[in-house]
Structure 1
């Protein structure tokens, strides 16, 4: 269950970090761009509220010191979200209606010293999560680059294999032509041998007939 709460806290940290960045941009935007940022922050604050409610439900199922410790963390998260909501309300007002409020006074009046310490811890976790996300993004880019290089090498290897297959087909065709030529030569050689054997046999028969008639005439 604690790991589930840690997961909620990581989601909350990423969400509130994005909200903080967008609140800063709302102050510099106007018109449709400002309305778009306001709608995004409204939605993200609602998501953050839902995450806090989920964390509170999980904390209720715990007992002992873990429950007290996690409850304190949830309270610090809620105080931080309240502060972000107040900043958001001020940021989305027109500039001529904005009220200058001392951030230090507002901070001191809304939270205790213990909550401020917890908020600082939460801020550290947000920074750590941001660095983790940046490292993850860098790893994704490096993996994408490695994947592109691997695909390039595979493409080159495929072209090499295709060229090898082409040369193999050409060699096979040349071997087939050579085999046919050799078979023709062997066939012609056999034909010549049969012809020579026939001529030799004919000469032998003629010689035998000549000898036979020669002896017969003498007798």
Structure 2
């Protein structure tokens, strides 16, 4: 919300600076150009009033010292806009008067006062601009940190995926080794059974030979 109010204040500062500059130029323009300036200032004063209303709505939702400080700023902005409106009305009246009847000293005082306000508004714009630049720099730094974190997470994810791949390969190798070992054990058992059968056959043959030998002698 504070950033929104800062944005409103910057827009308001730009508007009031432009209004002040155009009020100073109204008396220096020809009739057609003067009408254009008057229309522009009318529109910009309405925009400034709408901005102040939006700012006041935002301030009402705040609490504590920040709200009190911003309320004081709103009062200052209202007073400033009121002065600009009065000067604008006076400039329009002067437009309808004979310029030779205008009090030059009064005009010089108004111009000097407007010049001071232009400087004040310019300083405020500079301060708001620096605040926005600092905020933008913080956003860029945060974005850079976020990018680095995402990169680290991406690298870690790839590392985990590679580890999982190696685990799957190891598991497959263990499976193949287990099957090979089982096959070797089975072949060993088969060979032992064959050897046992051969031995048993030989024993039977020897027994038969001995039996027939003894029988034939008898």
TM-score, with structure 2 as normaliser: 0.55
The aligned counterpart of 2:214 is: 215
Equivalent position SS for 1:50: helix
Alignment partner, residue 15 of structure 2: 19
Alignment match, 1:50? 53
| Structure 1 segment 126-137 matched on structure 2, within 5 A | 130-137=129-136
User: Where do 5+ consecutive residues of structure 1 fail to align?
Assistant: 28-36, 59-66, 90-100, 110-115
1:152-181 deviations in Å (ceiling 9; x for gaps): 222222222222333333333333333322
CA positional deviation for 1:43? 6.7
The 5 A counterparts of 1:175-214 are 175-214=174-213
Matched with 2:94 is: none
Any stretches of 5+ residues in structure 2 without a counterpart? 26-39, 62-67, 90-105
1:167 pairs with 2:166: yes
The alignment's C-alpha RMSD in Å is 5.1
Q: Distance in 1 between the 2:149 and 2:11 partners?
A: 35
Superposition map of 1:47-86 within 5 A: 47-51=50-54, 74-82=74-82
**Equivalent pairs, count:** 178
Shift of 1:39: 11
Per-residue displacement from partner, 1:107-136 (whole Å, max 9, x unpaired)?
759xxxxxx9xxx7x998776655443322
**Separation of aligned partners in 2, 1:182 and 1:55:** 78
Q: Is the 2:15–2:48 contact (alpha carbons within 8 Å) kept by the matching residues of 1? A: yes
In 1, are the aligned partners of 2:13 and 2:124 still within 8 Å (CA)? no
TM superposition score normalised by structure 1: 0.55
Provide the residue aligned with 1:146 in structure 2. Answer: 145
Mapped partners of 1:25, 1:188: distance in 2: 103
Per the TM alignment, residue 197 of structure 1 is displaced from its structure 2 partner at its CA by 0.6
C-alpha change, 1:165 and 1:12, in structure 2 (3 Å) is: closer
Contact 1:15–1:44 at 8 Å: present in 2 too? no
